[in-house]
Amino acid sequence: MKYLTDNQLKELKVRLKWELYERLKDMSEVEEKSLNFLLNELLQEVLKNTENNNEDLFKEKENLVFYENNLEIYNNDYINIDLSKYKGFINLVITSPPYNLSIEYGQHNDSLTYEDYLKWTEKWLMKTYELLADDGRICVNIPLDKNKNGLKSIYADFVEVAKRVGFKYQSTIVWNEQNISRRTAWGSWLSASAPYVIAPVEMIVVMYKKQWKRLRKGESTIERNEFIEWTNGVWTFSGESKKKIGHPAPYPVELPKRCIKLFSYKDDIVLDPFLGSGTTLISAYREGRKAIGIEIDKNYIDIAIERIKKEFSTLFK
Ligand SMILES: C[S@@+](CC[C@H](N)C(=O)[O-])C[C@H]1O[C@@H](n2cnc3c(N)ncnc32)[C@H](O)[C@@H]1O
């Protein structure tokens, strides 16, 4: 910080967040005021409004990092972020939470004890329950079971936790990923001693908050052949390439696409609490839904934003 000629002005070097700088620059052009002037005005206003209550200024911010074409992305921990402004407004949640399989997710600890993992699951489900509309729905992509550090019936336990939180069970879709490369452990080969049985499928659990039938009419966008095919609860399509996307566990766009078209109306609000590489938002955009995504890891946020921007430019071509 350096003092200029008199006591009225002091010069301070600050590093602004890129988005903030871009917004200020736009404001400065529109209002024909210098950046310096604008910053002084804004700071004065903020400080005036928080006189005697500076604590408010430093509360954790939501950290909205992207907002375009009815898509919003927050870089934050879903458990901690304040999303109370959406309470009762979310129509459909589509997500794939961390599976606790010790995947390297940057900031998230994916190696909790199984008990802690279920407690954490309960926490995010409770928060989600609050945010959903009374006729809101949730589609959660989860493994059938887990065979790392002992077999666990993760799908069954997840449903139990969700029911304890208050969710009502609707159905389960079996996603046949056709991933045969998973077949590595046979247990006792050609012997009944202790063989392993592994189903190369994942589950999509469909539950709802209070009532399954939608309270209001809306515009459905599903086609006849899609409805007939997708209401058969075994879905067969391939998984997404981790390498291509740059994320350790992306799902293919086909998964949120089917859930969105089957379970939501046009213009509904879709939420993905564990956005990862942004797949749910890409699909929401393609299908004309509004969507909100939360992701804890800045690197995945960058990947998601890049994918979404690419999507905007291809659809406008
Ligand atoms: C299974 S991946 C989701 C992948 C996503 N469906 C896609 O297609 O890319 C789970 C994501 O949740 C993120 N995550 C873990 N804990 C989180 C938390 N507490 N809040 C927000 N995101 C979190 C991880 O960083 C990871 O990207």
Encode pLDDT of 177-225 as tens digits: 877 555 667 888 999 999 988 888 999 999 999 999 999 999 999 999 9
What's the gap in Å between 275 CA and the centre of ligand 1? 5
DSSP tag of 178: -
Confirm if 1 and 10 have CB atoms less than 8 A apart. yes
- Closest Cα to atom 15 of ligand 1: 108
**Arithmetic mean of pLDDT, 26-31:** 84
Answer yes or no: is pLDDT of 317 > 60. no
CA gap 290, 127 in Å, rounded: 20
What's the gap in Å between 78 CA and the centre of ligand 1? 9
pLDDT digit string (tens) for 49-95? 666 565 555 545 689 999 999 999 999 999 999 999 999 999 999 99
- The pLDDT assigned to 224 comes to 98
Q: What average pLDDT is seen over the chain?
A: 89
Confirm if 64 and 19 have CB atoms less than 8 A apart. no
Ligand 1 atom at shortest distance from the alpha carbon of 297 = 25
- The pLDDT assigned to 14 comes to 81
Answer yes or no: is pLDDT of 316 > 60. no
For tokens 């390297």, name the residue.
104
Highest mean pLDDT of the ranges 166-175, 184-193, 307-316: 166-175
Give the confidence band of 6 by pLDDT, cuts at 50, 70, 90. Answer: low
Give the confidence band of 101 by pLDDT, cuts at 50, 70, 90. Answer: confident
Is residue 300 within 6 Å of ligand 1 at its C-beta? Answer: yes
- The pLDDT assigned to 186 comes to 83
Confirm if 250 and 242 have CB atoms less than 8 A apart. yes
What's the gap in Å between 190 CA and the centre of ligand 1? 39
- Bridge partners for 204 per DSSP: 141, 173
Higher pLDDT: 207 or 113? It is 207
- pTM of the predicted model as reported, rounded to 2 decimal places: 0.81
pLDDT digit string (tens) for 119-168? 999 999 999 999 999 999 999 999 999 766 668 899 999 999 999 999 99
- The pLDDT assigned to 5 comes to 64
Confirm if 293 and 281 have CB atoms less than 8 A apart. yes
Is residue 293 within 6 Å of ligand 1 at its C-beta? Answer: no
Q: For residue 130, give every residue at least 6 positions away whose Cβ sits within 8 Å of its Cβ, in sequence order, or none.
A: 87
What's the gap in Å between 280 CA and the centre of ligand 1? 12
Is residue 297 within 6 Å of ligand 1 at its C-beta? Answer: yes
- The pLDDT assigned to 61 comes to 66
Higher pLDDT: 255 or 115? It is 255
Is residue 140 within 6 Å of ligand 1 at its C-beta? Answer: no
- Bridge partners for 73 per DSSP: 66, 293
- The pLDDT assigned to 312 comes to 94
Is residue 274 within 6 Å of ligand 1 at its C-beta? Answer: yes
What's the gap in Å between 20 CA and the centre of ligand 1? 25
Is residue 296 within 6 Å of ligand 1 at its C-beta? Answer: yes
pLDDT digit string (tens) for 221-273? 999 999 999 999 999 999 999 999 999 999 999 999 999 999 999 999 999 99
Is residue 256 within 6 Å of ligand 1 at its C-beta? Answer: no
Q: What are phi and psi of 110, to 5 degrees?
A: -100, 20
Is residue 100 within 6 Å of ligand 1 at its C-beta? Answer: no
- Closest Cα to atom 27 of ligand 1: 276
Is residue 298 within 6 Å of ligand 1 at its C-beta? Answer: no
